[in-house]
Amino acid sequence: MYQIVANRLVQVDDGYDQDQKLRVFLYSETNDEENDLFIQYFNDRHERVKYCKAEEHFRYLSGTIIIPIKDSFPDTECFSFSIFEDSLLLIDDNDIVKKTLIRLKEIKFYTDPTPGKILADIIESMIEYDLDYLEKIEDRLTEIEDSVIDGSIDTFNKHMGMIKRETMHYYNYYNQLVDMLETLTDDISDRFIDKDKVYFSALMHRCSRLQNNAQQLREYALQIHDEYQTQLNLHLNNVMKVLTIITVILMPLTLITGWYGMNFHFMPELSWRYGYLGVIVLASLILIFTLWWMRKKKII
pLDDT in tens, 176-228: 999 999 999 998 888 888 999 999 999 999 999 999 999 999 999 999 988 88
Whole-number Å distance between alpha carbons of 209 and 131: 9
pLDDT score at 16: 55
Q: Where are the domains of the chain?
A: 1-114, 243-296
Least confident residue range of 66-70, 79-83, 106-110, 155-159:
155-159
pLDDT at residue 31 is higher than 70? no
Is 5:69 a contact under the CB 8 Å cutoff?
no
Strand pairing category for 87-92 and 61-68: unpaired
C-alpha distances in Å from residue 206, one per residue of 36, 38, 42, 116, 175 = 37, 32, 28, 17, 11
CA torsion sign for 234, 240, 244, 246 is positive
Mind listing the pLDDT tens digit for each residue in 250-281?
A: 888 888 888 877 777 777 777 778 888 888 88
pLDDT score at 276: 82
Is 69:76 a contact under the CB 8 Å cutoff?
yes
Mind listing the pLDDT tens digit for each residue in 37-56?
A: 565 555 555 555 678 888 88
Q: What is the CATH number of domain 1-114?
A: 3.30.460
pLDDT score at 19: 58
pLDDT confidence bin for 92, thresholds 50/70/90: confident
Residue type, 181: L
